[in-house]
Each structure stands twice: as C-alpha cells, then as structure tokens.
Amino acid sequence: MVKLQTLLQILQERINIGVIMRSSVIIKSTKYGILIMLDENVSFEELVKDICTKFAESRKFWGDSKMIISLEGRDLTPEETQCIVDAIELNSDVKIILIEDRNVIRDIRMKDKIDKYFHDDIYVNAKVIKGSIKKNSKITSDSSIVILGDVKKGAKVEAAGNIIVIGTLEGEAYAGYPEDKTMYVVAQEFLSDVVTIGGITRKPEMHKKWSLRASNRETEPLGVIVWNNNELLIEPLKSGILKHIK
C-alpha cells in the first residue's frame, strides 16, 4: 500500500511538472494571427524549447500562413524576440510578418529592407488596419496608414503621412495629403496604375536597372517617392530609395 501511494505521488509530481512545462507557453488563435503568452518564471531557454515543440507538433494545424503574433507575459529584448520568431518559423510553415510587443508593432518581413533610420518611426502614431481594404471602401488618416493586407481594386487609401501596404496595392493610394511631397508609399506588390503623393498623380516609373531585378523577385517590397519635384519614382526598398526624401 505504501509503495502504491509512493508511486502515485511520483506520478502526480511528474504530471504537475508536465503541466507547468506545457503552460509555460500558451498559444491562442486570434482573427489576424496568434497571441503567445509567455511564463515569466521560467528560463528563456525553456520557453524557446517549448515554442519549438508546440509549433512542430501543430505544424499541420497552422499550415502555410502569414501571421501577426502578439507576445505577452514577460519583457523581451530585440534579440529574444527575434529568437522566438526564428523558433516558430523553423518548426512550422508559418511566416511571421508583424510582431506586436507591448502595443508596439514591428515589421518583420521588411525590417531588413527599410533603412533603420526610417524604420524606427514608421509606425509612430500610424493608423493600423488589420485586413484588406475592399472595393468601394475608403480609408483616411491624418497621420500614416499601415494596412495588414491588400488594397483591392476600387478601394482608396488617403493619408496625411505615409502609406504602407503589407500586401498588394491594386486600388488608389494618396500619401502626403494634400500637398506633402516628402511622404512615400510602400507595398509588397504594385498593381495600381497610378499613385498620388503630395498632389502629384502619376504612374510610377522604375529605372531600367531595377525593373528586371524586381520582376524576378516576387517578394521584393517596393517604394514610391516624389522625384525631381513632379515625378514619381518606384524602386525596390533595398536600393535605398527612401534616403532621397530625408
């Protein structure tokens, strides 16, 4: 009887330990991505191990998707945040495009494409739209606009600041409304015939040296700025195009 009680105690302790380990990382699905709750009482190494395990085990459930993740429960350094992103992407088919950490949105997919000087304040006071802008819809802002989706044909986006589309721009985009020519438009893909910046409406022209490179890279984000005071120039962000407007 004593041996049985001892065995039960040991089993219970192991179960309790297992519960603690499993609950060190809690993952919840949200409308636009996932919320990850992190236990502040365990080591960061243990958290990363649990994240790897959870996403590896549920790889089929998440599928091949692009997500926004929110991190809550403990303070993280930029290096730790990136480590969590790497752990998720290496153990699943999920691609993290944005991170929301303590109400601060960080762009993951474009972080190496936009110069740090510009990237630091892109989302300050910006209006963030979660989801695509549908046909016949109009979105306006007295600051910048970040769209976590596409701008469909027939839709219009108008901002006093910059416009950033984490997706495809098919509709109308008007940055720098009404006459601020120092603003820009950034999108993962441009299918719109015209763009307006600071009252200048044109079909953006791409320099020949970049046109072939951009067409061969489907995931190359593009930026549009005012050039020579009355032209609109479009180039891959990696070209450093945004430097010309500062």
Residue-by-residue DSSP string for 16-58: HHHHHHHTTEEEEE-SSEEEEEE-TTS-HHHHHHHHHHHHHHT
Res 11: pLDDT: 43
Long-range CB pairs of 121-127 (<8 Å, 24+ gap) are: 122/146, 122/162, 122/164, 126/161, 126/162, 126/164, 127/159
Question: Which phi and psi (to 5°) does residue 114 adopt?
Answer: -100, 135
The class level of CATH for 2-107 reads alpha beta
Closest to 195 (Cα-Cα) out of 163, 217, 167: 163
List pLDDT tens digits, range 119-163.
444 545 678 787 889 999 999 998 888 887 899 999 999 999 999
Closest to 71 (Cα-Cα) out of 25, 121, 22, 120: 25
Specify the domain boundaries for CATH 3.30.750.50 within the chain. 2-107
Whether this model's pTM surpasses 0.85: no
Nearest-angstrom CA–CA distance, 201 and 79: 41
Specify the domain boundaries for CATH 2.160.20.70 within the chain. 125-245
The token duo for 150 is 């596409």
Q: What is the number of other CB atoms lying within 10 angstroms of the CB of residue 246? A: 8
Res 102: pLDDT: 54
Res 160: pLDDT: 92
CA distances from 164 to 107, 183, 186, 188 (A): 11, 11, 5, 9
- Mean pLDDT per segment of 10 residues, for the chain of length 246 residues? 47 42 73 82 89 88 81 86 88 82 52 42 65 92 86 95 90 95 90 92 72 53 88 83 68
List pLDDT tens digits, range 187-201.
988 899 889 999 999
Q: Is domain 125-245 classified as CATH 3.10.310.10? A: no
